[in-house]
Chain A
Amino acid sequence: MKVEEKSLEGKKFKSRKVLLGASIGIISIILAIIISNLICSLPIFINSDYCIVIGFWDRIVAGFLTTMWLYGWSLMFGFFLGLFLALLRQYGGSIFSQGATIYIEFIRGTPLIAQLFFIFYGLNIPIENWNILTEFTIFGKEITFVFLNHRILFGIMALSLNSAAYQAEYFRGAMMSVGTEQLLAAQSLGMSRVTAIRHVILPQALRRVIPAWSNEAAYLPKYTVVVSLIGTTELFGQAKTIVSNTFISLSTYIIVAIIFLVTIAIVSKGLDLLHKRTGIPGL
């Protein structure tokens, strides 16, 4: 009998892929810096608006890293909290289900800015002197990257709490689409509901949710822009400082837009691949 053995290798393979992806990301950022600076060193381009903005590439890179930082954590926290909310709403019994529903509807029914301001100004959490940062130099320019201060923390909180509500609904839809018949079959084997949900419903729901969930993965990078309103210097916040220094707004925002476009295209493509990879054979 020769079954299995593949799964362990699969996991190693995945973590190697993540590392590979991250290093490709860093390499392409560096390549983008080099190439744009090379082009801008050509005499015909040197005084164009774009090249003046690209002269501030250190701020753009710092902003981009902060945006990705906000995005990554929010998407991840939103994922787990959203999954939890979806489970409560779908299988939690009437009280928990109603609680989850109220949360989801409240978040989806109010503006993100209001939620962010409520957390930032409304909750008086005294952590204003938190500041964990790193400084590094590439190509002679010093870049400051803040891991954690109160703005980043509140930003991630607001984005996660917001994203969770949307993600919860994607998860719930996927769980419903797996159907009660699968649950019945699992229970007929003597599985408890929790075991059945964990081993039968979730593995299928999480596969099915990827195409719909990629919506949230594509929305969220753009939502991080809102966090610039509490003074976080993510990509959009940095763009504003570049504009106030140079008075070149169109080119600056076009560059920002292109960065978002490319990032989200890569995320979408990655999720597409993940969907294909995790697809159930024959389905």
Chain B
Amino acid sequence: MSEPVIRVVDLWKSYEDLEVLKGVSFELAEREVKVIFGPSGSGKSTLLRCINMLSPPEKGDIFLRGQKITEQGVNLNKVRTRLGMVFQHFNLFAHLRAIDNVSIGLRRVKGMNKDEAQAKAFEALNRVRMAQWVDHYPAQLSGGQQQRVGIARALAMEPDVILFDEPTSALDPELIGEVLQVMLDLAKTGTTMIVVTHELGFAKAVASEMIFLGEGTIIERGSPQHFFVSPKSEIVKKFLKQLEVLYGTHEELLKPPDKENY
């Protein structure tokens, strides 16, 4: 087996007194889709930001295809071109059209000329089904469309892995589907990704492994099958149940309201 795309070893991170990550380790193989989920405040987003060194960890190591990126003297800008990032709130560049949002990295970081970069950006936008919207500014697009441009922006850089930080949680329900569909397509064509999400349907369909993060540590990990059939820890069971209630699939919702609660 070839070496993992990303290897995280015993990662620790705190913000002032608050310990956010307390020794997280995992490996991500080529073409793998890893889904990370867990309650809010469990350190999911922080983990992603540590991995691309936007907020460097205090302790622990991260290896990108064997290269230790937590070392002093590593050119982090170079490293980050290989780690795509999709943000919860899209973070598109508001002053640029969709095509320029996607091509700016190619031009300003990879040094491509304008035509080359735009051709490539168009290709990426086409992959996320945004070819019709290349000339639109972010504020002219719906949330789902903006997020798809965000995905194209990461994709165009041809990174080794794309990190998704709750890509659908800021979207209106009717817009989630289009983004998930694009992510499914990417997963099926062999894109290596780490996805922080509570979209269990997505996880079920493509996750090679799911990691449940709670209070900064990995509480439980396993295949989607494992989580949906026989999760072990109580916290995970409770959390999964809450998600089911939230998404309306749980039978409790269908019960008549309890009179004592009125």
Q: Which residues of chain A have a CB within 8 Å of any CB of chain B?
A: 1, 3-4, 181-182, 184-192, 195, 199-200, 203-204, 207, 280-283
| CB atoms of A188 and B80 under 8 A apart | yes
| CB atoms of B84 and A1 under 8 A apart | no
A146 to B104, CA, bound (A): 47
| CB atoms of A195 and B109 under 8 A apart | yes
Query: Closest 3 A-B residue pairs measured CB to CB?
Result: A282-B139, A190-B81, A189-B105
| CB atoms of A3 and B108 under 8 A apart | no
Interface residue from B78, B135, B140 paired with A190 (Cβ < 8 Å):
B78
A sample of 30 inter-chain contacts (CB < 8 A) reads A1-B118, A1-B122, A3-B122, A3-B135, A4-B114, A4-B118, A181-B87, A181-B91, A182-B91, A187-B54, A187-B80, A188-B54, A188-B80, A188-B83, A188-B84, A189-B80, A189-B81, A189-B105, A190-B78, A190-B79, A190-B80, A190-B81, A191-B109, A199-B108, A200-B93, A204-B94, A280-B139, A281-B137, A282-B136, A282-B140
What residues on B are CB-neighbors of A188 within 8 Å?
A: 52, 54, 80, 83-85, 87, 154
A276 to chain B minimum Cβ distance, whole angstroms, is 15
A261 to B133, CA, bound (A): 46
A182 to B101, CA, bound (A): 12
| CB atoms of B94 and A3 under 8 A apart | no
What residues on A are CB-neighbors of B54 within 8 Å?
A: 184, 187-188
Q: How large is the interface on B (under 10, 10 to 19, 20 to 34, 35 or more residues)?
A: 35 or more
Interface residue from A1, A192, A195, A281 paired with B139 (Cβ < 8 Å):
A281
Asked, given contacts A185-B87, A281-B139, A282-B137, whether A190 binds B105 with beta carbons under 8 Å apart, the answer is yes
Asked, given contacts A200-B93, A280-B94, A282-B137, whether A189 binds B122 with beta carbons under 8 Å apart, the answer is no
A203 to B94, CA, bound (A): 10
Docked complex: B69-85 residues within 8 A CB-CB of A: 77-81, 83-85
A4 to B99, CA, bound (A): 10
A185 (CB) vs chain B CBs: closest residue: B91
Given A3-B97, A182-B93, A281-B139, 20 more A-B residue pairs with CB atoms under 8 Å apart are A1-B119, A1-B122, A3-B134, A4-B118, A181-B89, A181-B91, A185-B91, A185-B93, A186-B93, A187-B77, A189-B105, A190-B77, A190-B78, A190-B79, A199-B108, A280-B95, A281-B136, A281-B137, A282-B137, A283-B137
What residues on A are CB-neighbors of B141 within 8 Å?
A: 282
Asked, given contacts A4-B118, A190-B105, whether A283 binds B81 with beta carbons under 8 Å apart, the answer is no
| CB atoms of A189 and B95 under 8 A apart | no
Asked, given contacts A191-B77, A280-B139, whether A184 binds B91 with beta carbons under 8 Å apart, the answer is yes
B34 in the interface, Cβ–Cβ < 8 Å?
Answer: no
What residues on B are CB-neighbors of A200 within 8 Å?
A: 93, 104
B42 to chain A minimum Cβ distance, whole angstroms, is 21
| CB atoms of A189 and B109 under 8 A apart | yes
B50 in the interface, Cβ–Cβ < 8 Å?
Answer: no
A65 to B154, CA, bound (A): 53
What residues on A are CB-neighbors of B114 within 8 Å?
A: 4
| CB atoms of A203 and B137 under 8 A apart | no
| CB atoms of B104 and A189 under 8 A apart | yes
B149 to chain A minimum Cβ distance, whole angstroms, is 11
B92 in the interface, Cβ–Cβ < 8 Å?
Answer: yes
B138 in the interface, Cβ–Cβ < 8 Å?
Answer: yes
What residues on A are CB-neighbors of B122 within 8 Å?
A: 1, 3
B106 to chain A minimum Cβ distance, whole angstroms, is 9
